[in-house]
Amino acid sequence: MLKRIAVILLVIFSFTLTSCVSTVSGLKSYIDTADGYQFLYPNGWTALNVSNGPDVVFRDLIEQTENVSVVISEVPSGKTLADLGTPSEVGYRLSKSAIAPPNSGREAELVNAEARESGAKSYYILEYAVKLPNQLRHNLASVAVSRGKLFTINISSTEDRWPKAKQLFEKVIKSFSVY
C-alpha cells in the first residue's frame, strides 16, 4: 500500500513539473553576459555568423525567412527610454531607420506600440506590418535602454505564417531582458 501511495505521489509530482515547464516549451535560452541581455528563441533555430550588423541572429532551419536578431546602439549618456520618446514615437523612428530605411524598397507600418515594465527596466513592444517588393512580413520588436545603450530585439515572419507564429513570437519578445 505504501508503494502505491509513493508511486501516485511521484506521478502527480511529475505532472506538476511538466506543466510548469510547458509554459516555455519549444524555446531555448540565449544569454549574452558581456553585453548584458538575454532572451528565449525557438528550438530548431540556429545562430548565423554576421559581421557589421546585429550582435546576434538566429534563423529557423525550416522556415529560413523567419529570424530573430539583437542590435545594440549607443544613446546619449544618461538618457532613459522615456527620454527617447513614447512607444509610438520610438516605434515610428525605428521603422524609418531600421525596419524600412530610405531606399531599401521596404515600407513599414507601425501596427501597435506599448510600454511594459519588468523589474526596474522599461521596454517598448512594437509591432509592424512590413511590405517588401516580393512579400508581406510581420515584425515584433522590443527596445530597452541600459548602461548608455539602446537594445533592440526584432523577430520576423512572412505575413502568411504570422497567425501560426504570433503566440511563439510574442513569448520571445516578452522574454527579452537587459541588465
Per-residue model confidence (pLDDT) at position 77? 87
Q: How far apart are the first and last CA of the chain?
A: 52
Per-residue model confidence (pLDDT) at position 9? 42
In contact, 157 and 133? CB cutoff 8 Å: no
Angle ∠(35,172,42) on CA atoms, nearest 5:
100
Q: Which of 155, 1, 9, 147 has its CA nearest to residue 80?
A: 147
Cell of 67: 529570424
- For every one of its 179 residues, what pLDDT tens digit does the chain have, with 9 covering 90 and above? 555 554 444 434 444 433 344 345 789 999 999 999 999 999 999 999 988 889 999 999 999 999 999 999 999 989 999 999 999 999 999 999 999 999 999 999 999 999 999 989 999 999 999 999 999 999 999 999 999 999 999 999 999 999 999 999 999 999 999 99
- How far, CA to CA in Å, does 43 sit from each of 9, 89, 91? 31, 33, 28
Q: What residues contact 158, with CB distance under 8 A and at least 6 apart?
A: 63, 65, 66, 135, 136, 137, 138
